[in-house]
């Protein structure tokens, strides 16, 4: 099945509800909704046919919660090569059935059965092999590769016709075939061949490569990816082994952030997993080439051989001992059964620091939504986690009080260092008065090796500043600045200096943290400083609980602003001397001119 993220396509409110139910049970998925009917959906489209065709061309698995005919009419003009087409499943809006339309042997049949189980419906699978055997020969278990998928049809036809079919098992085991009660002969053609060797299939056989090989690698720091990839492929070729039987690429944990290792795993289409030096040194009695030099540098007597042996376990064996270049080493071990990468060592830790916006689902970016769906663990202030509870059901939840920012950042970094995929959740934008800077500050100041190896990204969110401005019109359409009035981390003298600069520069100013139970007078002092550079009639926008049911918007003047107008849930936008209010009775807007009036005069 394709590794692309599946898409749940819905065209109605009923379909959207069903999509949300399915998404809650899926590890990685996106929901796309028809904009005119589902404007609240995070990802929307306007033209159904064009959108479905675009997804299909991208190779994205499509789960359409709609009539089968819609999918058929949209995708029929694109059908060309069934081996390259992604799975397409139609799901009835009443949840009664799931119909695999395309890619039945590439995940659609399996997907339809899974959906039917979730919804307590029926899977309308029509593939002959699956109906008769309960198995599709061109859809082997995860990790298995087929060298010649076009031959699957002929072998399946022979089995259906009760013709003798042989099976030859050179590596791994074929329980998934045995469990279906299929009858095979010992020799002859047609046949099914299971091998980890790099061989050309005979004309009348179906050749499978099971995931039984662990590729252990080591390399110098910043080894060029092409060098490691070439060395690994040459090592496999020299041993007559197939890259398609590699189940995972493994190394020592100090290489968890090594680009070459991850690029090699990507080329082979397998996960990269890592072991501690202590775990690798436990393999010392089994090493063919133990090295005291490596032990002094890394803490184990062999990286490539040790990692390969650790991955295959006690029943496995080293089949290619360490092969060395000036910059890299490779070794290969074989396991008697399929490798299960998720149970081997640990993955590189992954920390996503995400902003979920002010609180409304429609203001949360698709990147942040996907990060939450992909996460194993989520860390954040309890209120923020509650706002995304539908996306994090079943995930490990780590919450702390509002003032425990450092504790949350440390927890997130430590969890990621264990090889987990972690989301550190912030409101608004993670890089605006939020936890992104704290996470990087801890990383910088403490310089922990286990943190340095992490993959870290920051998913931007809509800030309270942007949300408030959008709700009221266009107050920050010219130069503006943001100032936090909290003196908990910044001395008040510094804050006053910045306020004076904003007043002198006539910037539109957004106040973050305008007031707390302890800090009452700062907002009025800030008001007085700004009044030195703009008139009392300057508009002030007060946006409270933005994006939530209790949202409120108010426009007052700077001269009227007091500490009673704000709390920690209020965004305060103070206009510049040029900002204007448009009052049309029911409607009121605030905007800051940018100079278009001069251009309009010239053009007229």
pLDDT digits (tens, 9 = 90+) for 433-454: 999 999 999 999 999 999 999 9
The string of pLDDT tens digits covering residues 330-349 is 999 999 999 999 999 999 99
Alpha helices in 100-166 (DSSP H): 108-119, 128-133, 152-160
CB 61 within 8 A of CB 107: yes
Q: What share of the chain is helix, strand, coil (3-state, %, to 5)?
A: 35, 25, 40
Average pLDDT, the chain: 91
In sequence order, what are the residues at sequence separation of 6 or more whose Cβ sits closer than 8 angstroms to the Cβ of residue 445? Answer: none
At 361, the pLDDT band (50, 70, 90 cuts) reads confident
Local confidence band at 266 (pLDDT 50, 70, 90 cut-offs)? very high
Average pLDDT over residues 114-130: 77
Model pLDDT for residues 283-316, shown as the tens digit of each residue: 999 999 999 999 999 999 999 999 999 999 999 9
568 or 481, greater pLDDT: 481
Where does the pLDDT of residue 603 fall: very low under 50, low under 70, confident under 90, or very high at 90 and above? low
Q: Does the pLDDT value for residue 547 go beyond 60? A: yes
- Is the confidence at residue 456, as pLDDT, over 90? yes
Alpha-carbon torsion, ordered 559, 560, 564, 566, to 10 deg? -70
pLDDT of the residue at 598? 63
pLDDT band at 599 (very low <50, low <70, confident <90, very high): low
- How far, CA to CA in Å, does 348 sit from each of 145, 259, 453? 25, 11, 7
pLDDT recorded at residue 346: 96
Instruction: Express as a percent the part of the chain with pLDDT over 90.
Output: 69
Q: Between residues 321 and 2, which one has the greater pLDDT?
A: 321
130/264 Cα distance (integer angstroms): 35
User: pLDDT class for 602, splitting at 50, 70, 90?
Assistant: low
- From CA 9, how far away is CA 32, in angstroms rounded? 5
pLDDT computed for residue 123 by the predictor? 82
Domains in the chain (CATH in brackets) are: 7-126 (3.40.50.11220), 145-209 (no CATH), 216-340 (3.30.420.180), 350-462 (3.40.1010.10), 465-591 (3.30.950.10)
Residues 6+ apart with CB under 8 A from 205: 148, 151, 155, 189, 190, 191, 192, 193
pLDDT band at 127 (very low <50, low <70, confident <90, very high): low
Residue 1 binned pLDDT confidence (cut-offs 50, 70, 90): very low
pLDDT category, 210, cuts 50, 70, 90? very high
Query: What whole-number distance in Å separates Cα of residue 318 and Cα of residue 296?
Result: 23
* Residue that has been written with the tokens 């139609």 in this structure: 90
pLDDT at residue 230, as a whole number: 98
Look at residue 134 in the predicted model and tell me its pLDDT.
57
Residue 94: both structure tokens together? 């009443």
C-beta of residue 207 within 8 angstroms of C-beta of residue 148? yes
Residues 180 and 431: their CA atoms lie apart, in Å, by: 54
Task: Please tell me whether residue 501 adopts helix, strand or coil conformation.
Answer: helix
CA geometry: angle at 569 spanning 565 and 573, to 5°?
Answer: 60
């Amino acid at each position: 099945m394709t590794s692309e993220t599946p898409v749940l396509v819905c065209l109605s409110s009923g379909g959207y509800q069903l999509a949300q139910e399915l998404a809650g049970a899926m590890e990685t998925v996106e929901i796309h909704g028809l904009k005119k009917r589902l404007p609240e959906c995070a990802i929307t489209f306007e033209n159904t046919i064009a959108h479905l065709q675009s997804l299909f061309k991208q190779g994205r698995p499509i789960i359409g919660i709609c009539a089968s005919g819609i999918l058929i009419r949209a995708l029929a003009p694109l059908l060309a090569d069934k081996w390259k087409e992604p799975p397409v499943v139609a799901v009835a809006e009443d949840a009664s059935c799931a119909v695999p339309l395309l890619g039945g042997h590439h995940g659609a049949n399996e997907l339809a059965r899974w959906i039917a189980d979730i919804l307590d419906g029926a899977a309308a699978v029509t593939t002959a092999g699956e109906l008769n055997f309960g198995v599709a020969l061109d859809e082997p278990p995860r990790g298995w590769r087929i060298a010649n998928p076009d031959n699957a049809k002929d072998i399946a036809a022979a089995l259906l016709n009760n013709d003798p079919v042989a099976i030859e098992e050179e590596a791994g085991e074929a329980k998934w075939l045995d469990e279906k009660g299929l009858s095979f002969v010992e020799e002859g053609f047609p046949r099914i061949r299971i091998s980890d060797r790099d061989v050309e299939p005979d004309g009348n056989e179906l050749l499978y490569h099971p995931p039984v090989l662990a590729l252990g690698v080591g390399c110098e720091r910043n080894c060029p990816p092409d060098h490691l990839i070439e060395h690994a492929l040459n090592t496999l070729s020299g041993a007559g082994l197939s890259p398609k039987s590699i189940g995972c690429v493994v190394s020592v944990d100090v290489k968890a952030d090594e680009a070459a290792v991850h690029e090699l795993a990507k080329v082979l289409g397998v996960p990269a997993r890592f072991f501690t030096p202590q775990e690798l040194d436990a393999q010392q009695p089994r090493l063919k080439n133990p090295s005291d030099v490596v032990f002094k540098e890394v803490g184990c007597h062999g990286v490539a051989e040790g990692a390969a042996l650790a991955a295959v376990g006690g029943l496995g064996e080293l089949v290619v001992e360490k092969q060395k270049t000036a910059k890299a080493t490779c070794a290969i071990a074989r396991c008697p059964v399929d490798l299960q990468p998720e149970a081997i060592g640990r993955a590189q830790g992954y920390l996503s620091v995400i902003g979920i916006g002010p609180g409304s689902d429609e203001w949360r970016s698709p990147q942040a939504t996907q990060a939450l769906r992909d996460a194993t663990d989520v860390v954040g202030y309890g209120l923020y986690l509650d706002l995304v509870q539908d996306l994090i059901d079943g995930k490990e939840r780590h919450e702390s009080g509002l003032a425990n920012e450092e504790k949350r950042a440390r927890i997130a970094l430590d969890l990621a260092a264990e090889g987990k995929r972690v989301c550190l959740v912030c409101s608004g934008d993670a890089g605006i008065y939020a936890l992104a800077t704290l996470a990087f500050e801890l990383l910088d100041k403490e310089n922990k090796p286990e943190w340095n190896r992490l993959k870290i990204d920051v998913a931007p969110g809509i800030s309270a500043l942007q949300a408030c401005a959008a709700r009221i019109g266009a107050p920050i359409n010219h130069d503006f600045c943001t100032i936090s009035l909290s003196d908990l981390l910044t001395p008040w003298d510094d804050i006053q200096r910045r306020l004076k600069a904003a007043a002198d520069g006539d910037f539109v100013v957004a106040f973050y943290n305008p007031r707390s139970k302890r800090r009452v007078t700062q907002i009025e002092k800030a008001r007085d400083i700004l009044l030195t550079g703009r008139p009392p009639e300057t508009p002030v926008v007060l946006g409270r609980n933005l994006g939530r049911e209790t949202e409120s918007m108010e426009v007052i003047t700077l001269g009227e602003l007091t500490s009673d107008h704000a709390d920690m849930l209020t965004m305060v936008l103070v206009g510049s001397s040029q900002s204007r209010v448009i009052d049309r009775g029911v409607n009121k807007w605030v905007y800051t001119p940018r100079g278009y009036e001069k251009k309009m005069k010239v053009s007229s």
